[in-house]
């Protein structure tokens, strides 16, 4: 799966070397009893089934249809996520202290971590490459409207843009606006409209 972003596409030799080196490292760590033969696959599997953007999508969909839940979510994100019918772990690794900010017709929020890649694992899983990209991290804090337009988000001049950087221990995400034309949709249908990009503020939700 070579990247579609030229900046991340390197020569085959470089990737072959990294693949050999990481396999060498993992096999030695297993032989020496640091980890087991299943440890890495257990972790990767956890992010496919337990922690991922499928959780965040359900939280947002519920907030769109349940005003009391939305109020709780905005006031105490962890309490709201723990109240969902999810497996244990919504305040687990990299989600111990989460905050969510609401997009409205007047305010658009976008999340960044200029120092590294802090991301709310329980609700959104692992950060996509655009979030880890030094170019995004450098630019969005000063010129968020231009960066958002490069992601395809065109904001009206009347909209205030709020950029939230994560330099301490809070993990941030965004409650996007519910799009028009979704009246009568079930929570499951609404959840299917959501993407990690929408829940970090670099996309809007559409039908």
> By CB under 8 A, what part of segment 63-122 binds other proteins?
88-89, 91-97, 114-117
> Is 77 an active-site residue?
no
CA distance 130 to 64: 27
Active site residue 113: yes
| CB distance 55 to 187 below 8 Å | no
Buried b (16+ CB within 10 A) or exposed e, 134-159: eebbeebeeebeebbeebebeeeeee
**Binding to other proteins (CB under 8 A): which residues in 153-172?**
157, 159-170
Q: How big is the chain by its Cα radius of gyration, in Å?
A: 19
Give the contact letters, 31-60, x = binds to other proteins (CB under 8 A), - = no: xxxxxxxxxxxxxx-x---xx---------
Strands (E), the chain: 98-102, 107-112, 160-165, 171-175
User: Is 117 part of the annotated catalytic residue set?
Assistant: yes
Cα separation of 203 and 207, whole Å? 13
Size of the site for other proteins (CB under 8 A): 95
Decide if 81 is catalytic: no
Question: CB count, 10 Å around CB of 55?
Answer: 24
Q: CA nearest 54: which of 194, 176, 171, 175?
A: 194
CB of 57 to other proteins, least distance (A): 15
Q: How far is the CB of 80 from other proteins (least distance, A)?
A: 16
Does 11 contact other proteins by CB under 8 A? no
Shortest distance, CB of residue 205 to other proteins, whole angstroms?
A: 15
**CB closer to other proteins, 66 vs 162:** 162
Which position among 116, 149, 186, 192 bears the catalytic label? 116
Q: Which lies closer to other proteins via its Cβ, residue 23 or residue 71?
A: 23
Q: Is 68 or 168 the residue whose CB approaches other proteins more closely? A: 168
Pairing of strands 107-112, 98-102: unpaired
Kindly tell me which of 51 and 61 has the beta carbon lying closer to other proteins: 51
Catalytic residues: 113, 116-118
């Amino acid at each position: 799966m070579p990247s579609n972003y030229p900046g991340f596409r390197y020569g085959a030799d470089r990737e072959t070397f990294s693949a050999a080196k990481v396999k060498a490292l993992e096999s030695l760590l297993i032989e020496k009893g640091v980890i087991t033969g299943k440890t890495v696959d257990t972790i990767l599997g956890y992010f496919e089934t337990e922690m991922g953007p499928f959780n965040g999508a359900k939280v947002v969909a519920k907030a769109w249809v349940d005003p009391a839940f939305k109020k709780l979510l905005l006031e105490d994100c962890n309490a709201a996520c723990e109240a969902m019918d999810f497996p244990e772990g919504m305040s687990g690794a990299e989600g111990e202290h989460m905050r969510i900010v609401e997009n409205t017709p007047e305010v658009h929020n976008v999340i960044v971590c200029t120092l590294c890649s802090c991301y709310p694992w329980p609700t959104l899983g692992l950060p996509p490459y655009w979030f880890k990209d030094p170019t995004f991290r450098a630019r969005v804090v000063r010129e968020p409207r231009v960066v958002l337009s490069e992601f395809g988000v065109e904001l009206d001049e009347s909209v205030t843009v709020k950029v939230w950087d994560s330099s301490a221990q809070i993990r941030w995400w965004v409650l996007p606006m519910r799009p028009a034309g979704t009246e009568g949709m079930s929570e499951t249908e609404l959840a299917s409209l959501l993407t990690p990009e929408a829940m970090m503020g670099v996309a809007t939700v559409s039908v």
